[in-house]
Structure 1
Amino acid sequence: MKVSDFLAGVLTGVAAGIVVSETIDRVNQNVSADSVLNTIKDAFKNEGPIDGSWIVMKTEPFTNKVITMDVYRGGISRIKEGELEQFEFAADAKTGTVVELIKA
């Protein structure tokens, strides 16, 4: 076996390892809390103006009978037909998908 063939194999293996490592890191990252809040606010803005909003920047565990995931908790308030409406939500930290929405 030539040294150049051996080095080519080693470099190919290292490159493949880096690509796999980067892919795994990207999959394990959470969506930012600000991004989640902005998405939810945009959805609410379709029905009218928002009075206020908040989100907890730290994730917490959430279980919905079968599925367990980390979520961001937050809330939105708005005035609709002269009445204050308040909603609390839980959004999946990995995807930003709302998994719980409760009118408070």
Structure 2
Amino acid sequence: MSDNNHVHDENCNHDHEHEEVVILTDDEGNEREFIIVETMQVEEQHYAILVAADGTEDDGFIMRIEEDEEGEEYLIDIEDEQEWNRVVAAYEKMADAE
């Protein structure tokens, strides 16, 4: 998670009114709750900005939102470095505008 992070603290400007909680499973099978604090679109793709629901971590991270055949959304890691750089640049631009 350390490569995909942003600071989420008392100075953040995210809209917390419509937070969605998701449960993600790590590589060791441990489940943790995260809050989607923001979504954004970069080019034709949508992304979710997440933070730990229990507040144990100050840093959050960004995941790509995909859709299955039934239209159900799910989250996946961003593994492509060029895509990651585009998303981070878009996030920084969005954060500066707030």
Q: TM-score, normalised by structure 2?
A: 0.32
Q: Which has the larger radius of gyration?
A: 1
- Return the structure number with greater helix share: 1
